[in-house]
A and B are shown apart, each in its own frame.
Chain A
C-alpha cells in the first residue's frame, strides 16, 4: 500500500477557450443518445516505447491508457466510444492537428488524442480533447507520475474530459472499498478489499480470519472505519490503508456497529448496543470523547451525516417499523421523514446535500431509492429480490450498492455482487469484482 500517495504533476499546456464550446452532455436525464467520442490511442516514439516496455512490460502503453479512458466513458452511459478500427488518422498525426473531416466522417463529435513518454524514469502523458464539429481544441493537459500509476493517468484524463463535457466533477480517479465474500452461504469468509472504481488493482486488506462488515472511507480516503468480529467481539475499528495499522474505536462494553466518518473526518458516528437497545454515539478521534446522540428504547442505527455536518440521518424502528429520521448533529430535533408504505433503511446523505439515498423493503421486494431531505419526492431507482446499502459517487450522480440472489430449493445459487445505477434510474451495471462482494463504499476523488 506504500504507493497510495502518488503525486501527479499537472501542467496546463494551453488554457481551454471556453467561450465557444459547442459540445455539452446533459447528465440530469437518462441519456438515450450517448455522445459519439473517439479515443485515439496515445502515441509514443520508438525510444519511449522501448523503455516503457522494459519498465512496465507493456507493449503499447498509449493504447492501454486510451482503453482505460474509453472503458470509463462507456460505463457512464453518457458517451459512445467508437471502435478504433474505424479511425482513419494515425495517433501521432492526430495529436498534433486532427483532420476533423476524417473524424466527423466516422460520426465522432469529440476526439481525445495524446502522447506518452518516459522522461527521467517518470511517465509523462499529455492529452487533448477536441470538438470535432467546431474544429477546435477544448482542453489540453499533461501529467507526470511514476510509471506504475499509468491506470490512474487514464482515470484522471477521464475526469478532466467528463468535467469539461458535462460541467460536473468526475468520479473516475476513485476507489471502492468493499467486503469480499467466498464460501458457502452458511459459512461465508469475508475480507476487506479495495479496488479502483473500474475493478482493477484489487487488494485484500484482511485475511478472512474474522468476520468483517460495512467498511467506509474517511473524507480523504486514507482511513477506513468498519466492523470486525476480532476475538468474537463485534466492535468498530479504524484502519489506516497506507500503514495497515488497525485500532478499535472507543472502549464500549458491547457491540458497536454501523460506523461512518463525520464529513470533517474528526469523528466516527456509530451504533452501540446495550441490553438489547441500540443507540447512536459519536467518538472524537483525537480527544477520544464519546457522546451519546440518541437515547430511545428502539433500534437507532445506520447514521449518516449531512455534508455540512449539521444534520444526521438515521434509521429507527421507534414508530414500530424501520423508518428514516433526521436530527441535528447534537441529537435534538428528531423528525421522521419516510412515510411511504414499507420499511426504510440505510439512509445516506448525498455529497451534494439535497438527497438521501435509502433501501426500501416493500411487499417482499427490495428497492434502492432517493428522497429529498424533507422526505418528499421519493423515487425508486431499482427493484430486486435483495439489494441494499447504497453509497454515492463523489459527484453525487451514481450510486453503488450490493445485490444478493435468491437460492433455489436446495439452497444453492447464492451470490452477492456490486451494482451501480445512475441517479436518473438509468444505466444499471454490474461492477466487476474478483470474488463475490458486498457493502461497497465509494472514495472521494483521489487527485485534486
Chain B
C-alpha cells in the first residue's frame, strides 16, 4: 500500500463519517420539528383528497405566499383533475396561522389563495371556475400553539364548489 492510496482511503472513511454525522443531525431536526421542512408543513395528517392521488391543500412558510416545489406538484395534480372534470368549480380557501394580527392575516390568506389560483390558471384552469375566500386565522385545523400546528394552519385548501 503506497502512501497516496492510504491517503485516499483515509479521506473516503472521513467523508463517509461526516455524511453519516450529517444524516443523524437531519433526522434529529426532523423529529424535533415534526413533519416540516424549514417551517413549511410536509406531513399528510390534515390533508384530504379531491380524488385518488389529488391532495386538496398546499402549505406556506411564515408570512409567505410563495409556492414550494411540493405545492406546485400538488396544484398541477389538481389542475389535471380539474381539466378532466370540467363541470367542477372550486373555491380556494386561504388561511394564516394565529401568530399575526387579524386584519393582516385576512389579507395574507387572500394572497395565499390567489397564489394557488394563479398557478391553477397557468395550467389551463379558467378563472371563472375558481373563486377565492380568505379566512385569515379564523379557521385553524390544529388548535395547538406550536410551530407544527401553525405550519398546518398556513394553507390554501381547494374545495369543490358544486
Residues of A within 8 A of B (CB): 184-188, 211, 213-214, 227, 232, 234, 254-255, 257-258, 271, 273, 275-278, 299, 301-302, 315, 317, 321-322, 343, 345-346, 359, 361, 364, 385-386, 388-389, 404, 406-407, 409, 411-412, 414, 438-439
Contacts and interface: CB of A to CB of B under 8 A. Distances in A.
Contacts of A404: 98
Given A186-B140, A346-B101, A361-B99, A275 B114 contact: yes
A406 B107 contact: no
A188 B102 CA distance: 14
A276 B143 contact: no
Given A213-B138, A275-B114, 13 more contacts: A184-B143, A186-B141, A257-B103, A273-B107, A276-B117, A277-B111, A302-B104, A317-B104, A322-B104, A345-B101, A386-B99, A406-B145, A412-B143
Given A255-B110, A276-B115, A214 B140 contact: no
B149 A276 contact: no
Interface residues on B, range: 20 to 34
Contacts of B135: 211
Give the most central of B103, B113, B135: most A CB within 10 Å: B103
B5 to A, nearest CB: 54
A214 B143 contact: no
Contacts of B143: 184-186, 407, 411-412, 414
Given A234-B133, A411-B144, A301 B98 contact: no
B97 to A, nearest CB: 11
B65 interface: yes
Instruction: Name B's interface SS.
Output: mixed
Contacts of A187: 139
Given A211-B138, A406-B145, A414-B143, A386 B98 contact: yes
Interface string B77-121: 000000000000000000000111111101110110111011000
B103 A411 contact: no
A188 B108 CA distance: 20
Contacts of B108: 299
A257 B134 CA distance: 11
Contacts of A254: 132
Nearest to B65: A276
A388 B144 contact: no
Contact of B103 (A276, A301, A409): A301
Contact of B107 (A188, A214, A227, A271): A271
Contact of A299 (B99, B111, B132): B111
B142 A411 contact: yes
Interface string B141-155: 111111001000000
Contacts of A438: 102
A214 B137 CA distance: 13
Nearest to A190: B138
B140 A255 contact: no
Nearest to B114: A276
Given A255-B133, A278-B110, A407 B103 contact: no
20 contacts: A186-B141, A211-B138, A214-B103, A234-B106, A234-B134, A255-B133, A257-B107, A258-B103, A271-B107, A278-B110, A301-B107, A315-B101, A346-B103, A364-B99, A386-B98, A407-B145, A409-B144, A409-B146, A411-B142, A438-B102
B107 A299 contact: yes
